[in-house]
């Protein structure tokens, strides 16, 4: 049986460290979260983000906009937040309603306040191995891997998924750890065989329980980023499952993250970490400009 990583406990200790550091600052970091529409899961994530922001001693600015918000209105809000000195981090909850142009909205966020690490500037910094803001879920995965594996030099890492939010940035972070990285996706041929080469397998493809136990190399470390809501055995109820068939995989892998309770909680903890990083950088730059 694999060792099961408890992401909740890890995230709690990360948040405790952030709170301790915030308490030492001469200013209060501020994080703005923008939600457009009524997606039930997004509403829960945004509420959790706001609550945890306050719990670590930061200021939370919540902006809930109706589903019919126009591109121009959302852009105007982002620009106002860019200009607001009390706001050090800006996050626009995804997915946005279909009529909005997500790329243009993300591009409008000041890279210094882009705590999701999604602007082209931050993606470029990551690709070049330079310090920027790194997307939260990939950062959470790497922190878990570093904690469990330490040095990852030379390990074969397979990332299943190529999104800007998870797949591409985590591949970059694994390269920085000296892994040999393969990026696979839903159209990859012989996906099972490729997965079987992985010492580290990252499942971020968004397909419930796609990755079976016999796709996994015995003893591999499996990080499941998938969050898929599927019908439960009880009629009318649903449950969360990952991209990995957990009950099979847990018998083959050496280390594995569960869903829920694995990577998910790390996402918000890493958002707070990014907000702290952004705030310190912004305030330091301001101080330099004033002196
Ligand atoms: N702007 C962004 N949008 C989205 C991101 C993101 O990083 N930035 N990621 C996801 C959603 N997400 C945060 O926004 C997120 C997903 C899951 C969890 C989490 O704690 N999951 C729990 C289960 C929670 C549940 O019951 O639904 C777990 O896995 O244990 C936190 C944050 C998409 N959008």
- What pLDDT is attached to residue 289? 82
Q: Is 219 annotated as a binding residue?
A: no
**DSSP labels for 149-170?**
HS--TT-EEEEE---TTTHHHH
CB of 264 within 6 A of ligand 1: the answer is yes
At 128 the pLDDT is 97
CA of 286 to the centre of ligand 1 (A): 32
Q: Where in the chain is the domain with CATH 3.40.50.720?
A: 136-264
CB atoms within 10 A of CB 173: 23
Ligand 1 pocket check for 117: Cβ under 6 Å: no
Pocket test for ligand 1, best of 14, 47, 227 (most atoms within 8 A of CB): 227
Instruction: Confirm or deny that 227 is annotated as ligand binding.
Output: yes
| CATH 3.40.50.10860 in the chain, residue ranges | 25-110
Interface confidence, given as ipTM, is 0.97
Dist. CA 72–CA 37, nearest whole Å = 16
**Protein residue with least CA distance to atom 27, ligand 1:** 41
Is 291 marked as a binding-site residue?
A: no
Task: Determine the distance separating the centroid of ligand 1 and the alpha carbon of 141, expressed in angstroms.
Answer: 13
Residues in the chain where the model's pLDDT stays below 70: none
Ligand 1, atom 5, residue with closest C-alpha: 94
Residue 49 Cα, ligand 1 centroid: separation in angstroms?
9
Q: Give the CA count within 13 Å in the CB-facing half-sphere of 173.
A: 28
For domain 25-110, say whether CATH 3.40.50.10860 is its number.
Answer: yes
Q: Give residue for tokens 């890890």.
A: 10
Active site residues: 49, 93, 116
Please give the distance, rounded to the nearest whole angstrom, from the Cα atom of residue 266 to the centre of ligand 1: 9
Q: Is the CB of 246 under 6 A from ligand 1?
A: no
Integer distance in angstroms from the first to the last C-alpha of the chain? 58
Contact 206 CB / ligand 1 (< 6 Å): no
Distances (CA, A) of 231 to 14, 92, 210, 262, 289: 33, 29, 16, 21, 56
Handedness of CA 173, 104, 207, 240 (dihedral sign): positive
Q: pLDDT tens digits for 1-51? A: 999 999 999 999 999 999 999 999 999 999 999 999 999 999 999 999 999
* CA-based R_g, the chain, Å: 19
Token pair 């301790």 is found at: 20
The pTM score is: 0.96
45 Cβ inside 6 Å of ligand 1: yes
Q: What is the pLDDT of residue 290?
A: 77
What architecture (CATH level 2) is domain 136-264?
Answer: 3-Layer(aba) Sandwich (3.40)
Residues in the chain: 291
């Amino acid at each position: 049986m694999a060792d099961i990583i408890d992401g909740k406990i890890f995230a709690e200790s990360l948040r405790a460290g952030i709170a301790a550091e915030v308490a030492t600052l001469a200013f209060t970091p501020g994080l703005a979260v923008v939600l457009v529409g009524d997606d039930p899961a997004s509403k829960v994530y945004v509420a959790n983000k706001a609550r945890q922001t306050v719990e670590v001693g930061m200021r939370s600015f919540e902006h809930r906009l109706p589903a019919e918000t126009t591109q121009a209105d959302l852009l105007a809000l982002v620009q106002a937040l860019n200009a607001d000195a009390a706001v050090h981090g800006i996050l626009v909850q995804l997915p946005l309603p279909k009529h909005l142009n997500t790329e243009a909205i993300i591009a409008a966020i000041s890279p210094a306040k882009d705590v999701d690490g999604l602007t082209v500037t931050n993606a470029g910094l990551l690709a070049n191995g330079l310090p920027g803001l790194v997307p939260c879920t990939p950062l959470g995965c790497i922190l878990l891997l570093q904690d469990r594996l330490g040095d990852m030099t030379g390990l074969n890492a397979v990332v299943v998924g190529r999104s800007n939010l998870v797949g591409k940035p985590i591949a970059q972070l694994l390269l920085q750890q000296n892994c040999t990285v393969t990026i696979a996706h839903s159209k990859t041929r012989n996906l099972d065989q490729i997965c079987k080469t992985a010492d580290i397998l990252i499942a971020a493809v968004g397909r419930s329980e796609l990755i079976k136990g016999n796709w996994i190399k015995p003893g591999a470390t499996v990080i499941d980023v998938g969050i898929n809501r599927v019908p439960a055995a009880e009629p009318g109820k649903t449950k969360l499952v990952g991209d990995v068939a957990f009950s099979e995989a847990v018998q083959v892998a050496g280390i594995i993250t569960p869903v829920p309770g694995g990577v998910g909680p790390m996402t918000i903890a890493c958002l707070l970490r990014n907000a702290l990083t952004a705030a310190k950088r912004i305030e330091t730059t301001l101080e330099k400009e004033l002196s």
